[in-house]
Copies of this chain bind each other. A is one copy, B any other.
């Protein structure tokens, strides 16, 4: 693979963890550079001009090329490996879950984790507070939809572990950091989390 890819990240972010977990499961070494989002380190001119004009982490750097968006970085790492199904439908179905994650899961499950645990309920803005009921409902619906699927299938897409599982694992396994989502309500999700944690090469979020 030539020189190591560099992950520009904030380690507590599930979006960054997805990439580390993908690399670990594939046995690919990456270099990590940490930015403290709570101190605004991804909003400096150096970051905006040099790493990502969007002001967001993660960004995967491959040589002098920069790849933002966590799920795209996972795809770059896993392209051509067992983590991307070789069957055409399963490959698209894997991406289906990854797009769904960004639209239906992350803005609810991950955002509520950040709001409740990093910002703190007392410090939420009026707009954030007004959004809480809808986000809690949408987060519960997202976890229930996964549970329904996983009650019938071991993996989200295709016959084996794929990027869909890794990308959804990242925020699902810490969903209850917000104090709002009890995984006891979704037993099939719990069993699936354990299947992922049993994979050779698995690394925990805090590792």
Main secondary structure, interface of A, reads: helix
Cβ proximity bits A140-165 to B, threshold 8 Å, 1 near / 0 not: 00000100100000000000000000
Instruction: Give the number of chain A interface residues (Cβ < 8 Å).
Output: 37
* This chain: copies in complex: 2
At the interface with chain B, which of A26-34, A63-71, A116-124, A194-202? A63-71
Per-position contact with B for A53-71: 1 when CB-CB < 8 Å, else 0?
1100000001001011111
Tell me if B68 and A89 are in contact (CB < 8 A): no
Q: Is the CB of A79 within 8 A of B53?
A: no
Q: Does B91 lie within 8 Å of A54, measured CB to CB?
A: no
Contact B130 A100 (CB under 8 A): no
CB distance from A79 to the nearest CB of B (A): 6
Cα distance A71–B97 when bound, in Å? Answer: 11
Q: What is the CB-to-nearest-CB distance from A127 to chain B, in angstroms, rounded to a whole number?
A: 5
